[in-house]
Amino acid sequence: MLLRTLKAFAAAGKCAVIFAPIFFLFLFSTILMVGGDGTAPGVTHLSAAILGNTAKLLGIASEGAVFFVVLFWSLVVYVFAFLYATMFPGNLNDNDQKTESQKSSKVAVLSIVAFVAGSLSLIAGNQNKINAEDEKRRALDFVKQNETVMQEVGGNGKVDLVSYTTARNGSVTYDIGVYGTKTIYAIVVASRNSGTSNFTLACTTPLYMGQRDPFKPCKQ
């Protein structure tokens, strides 16, 4: 029974290791098939569907989610390969069992460690993505609820995220478009202290991001 379990873990690890790079190359290469006019072959639409649906399942944005999608499906392959190897083990004679047990135990340990590390990475990455999306929504709400900004555009303006940049210290600067009787851009800085985001309105500007200094957006 122990040998069967060790072999199952070893086989699952091998399957996942083989699957991950092939799946990554498939997704990456098919995405690059999009033409300059926006047209793409059917396989690219399949890749986009896989990315989009898996990202939706994980609760993360599809942009930049290739790593997490590959990791997720590699873990799925790992689990199914383990179950298959457990239910349909190969036969070994008595002379081969000791040697096979030693080989399988080493591969099984590495396989289990990789599975746990991959699972933790997926959970942590998923949580970081969720936190980032939540912070973006709260930055938009911060601007929408700022009376000074709303008065500047003539009342109840609409807001939309234009871009954002992350500094070395972990703070994030959001460039948020505010649209009312006129259009302005609110520069909001989110500093992360004690795990919470604190928002500060750095300035507002009528200049679009391409019209101002990208390193000093508040300098007119």
User: What CATH number is given to the structural domain containing 150?
Assistant: 3.10.450
Question: Which pTM value belongs to this model?
Answer: 0.54
Domain final residue pick, 133, 161, 191:
133
Q: Which of 24, 128, 18 is nearest to 70 (CA)?
A: 24
CA 97 to chain centre: 43
Q: Is residue 218 part of a domain?
A: no
Q: What is the mean pLDDT of residues 183-192?
A: 89
Same-domain status, 91 and 171: no
Same-domain status, 166 and 129: no
* Residue 160 host element (H or E): strand 158-166
What is the radius of gyration, based on Cα positions, of the chain? 25
Same-domain status, 128 and 159: no
Q: What is residue 139's predicted lDDT score, i.e. its pLDDT?
A: 92
Same-domain status, 105 and 76: yes
User: Can you tell me the distance from the alpha carbon of 130 to that of 36, in angstroms, rounded to the nearest whole number?
Assistant: 32
Q: Determine the residue type at 191.
A: S
Domain final residue pick, 98, 133, 168:
133
Same-domain status, 33 and 119: yes
User: Can you tell me the distance from the alpha carbon of 220 to that of 212, in angstroms, rounded to the nearest whole number?
Assistant: 7
Domain containing residue 187: 145-211
Q: What is residue 171's predicted lDDT score, i.e. its pLDDT?
A: 85
Least confident of 21-30, 39-48, 109-118: 109-118
How many domains is the chain partitioned into structurally? Answer: 2
